[in-house]
Amino acid sequence: GQNIDQPTEMTATEGAIVQINCTYQTSGFNGLFWYQQHAGEAPTFLSYNVLDGLEEKGRFSSFLSRSKGYSYLLLKELQMKDSASYLCAAPGGYQKVTFGTGTKLQVIP
Amino acid sequence: IAGITQAPTSQILAAGRRMTLRCTQDMRHNAMYWYRQDLGLGLRLIHYSNTAGTTGKGEVPDGYSVSRANTDDFPLTLASAVPSQTSVYFCASSRISLAGGQPDTQYFGPGTRLTVL
């Protein structure tokens, strides 16, 4: 099966920048997803990288290197509402993804 | 209905009882999925369906069954619940990617919190 590795917890200060890393086993399928999940809620889609490089979407950016099986999510100008878990998901077979256990981000004043 | 819904929101169930968790989507997505989420283990795939009439086993299928009679509905049944099935269950759906097999973005329902005593 797919092995996905991401840090369990991170803490960052309001207004700062934080980078959440994710490593995964490469497979025959491309693409790396990032989801955000607030406590007690469902995961919501943040980004989907299919090709190598950086994709920017407002305060959030996501980077992918397919050959290295590496991705990161970059959050800028952190706000208190960004406190959540961030889930990395990589292809795990035909039409399926495997989710990492998530990185719990705490934003402090 | 807008998006994907699940019922019930939460349930306390006696061990040995049968329970069906309901999931309905109105996005006309072909693929649907059931996950369970447990602390420290993340989201784990139970069963999936790539199109109406077909289903497949995920990572943790034992003790669960699914059916996909139509595009919109994907119920999950616990035939005889056990305490280890205490978890939060999420249903999700996605389009079938035109790049055969390439996974597409999944959209999640609000979840069902199930406690088996």
Q: Kindly report the three-state secondary structure assignment for every residue of B36-100.
A: EEECCCEEEEEEEECCCCCCEECCCCCCEEECCCCCCECCEEECCCCHHHCEEEEEEEECCCCCC
User: At a CB cut-off of 8 Å and minimum separation 6, what does A96 contact?
Assistant: B33, B45, B48, B58, B103
What confidence score (pLDDT) does residue B104 get?
A: 85
Nearest CA in chain A to B58: A96
Closest to B77 measured CA to CA, from B17, B20, B15, B6: B20
Q: Higher pLDDT residue, A80 or A97? A: A80
Contact check, Cβ <8 Å, B109/A87:
no
| Coil, helix or strand at residue A80 | helix
Q: Stretch A4-26: mean pLDDT, rounded? A: 95
B43 at A interface, C-beta within 8 A: yes
Which residues in chain B are closer than 8 Å to A48, comparing Cβ atoms? 105
What confidence score (pLDDT) does residue A96 get?
A: 83
pLDDT of B97 over the 90 cut: no
pLDDT of A2 over the 90 cut: no
Residue B102 and residue B104: Cα distance in Å, rounded? 6
Which residues 2-41 of chain B have a CB within 8 Å of chain A? Answer: 31, 33, 35, 40-41
pLDDT of B57 over the 90 cut: yes
Beta strands at B42-49 and B87-94: parallel, antiparallel or unpaired: unpaired
φ/ψ (deg, to 5) at B30: -75, -40
Which residues in chain A are closer than 8 Å to B35, comparing Cβ atoms? 99
pLDDT classification of B99: cutoffs 50, 70, 90: low
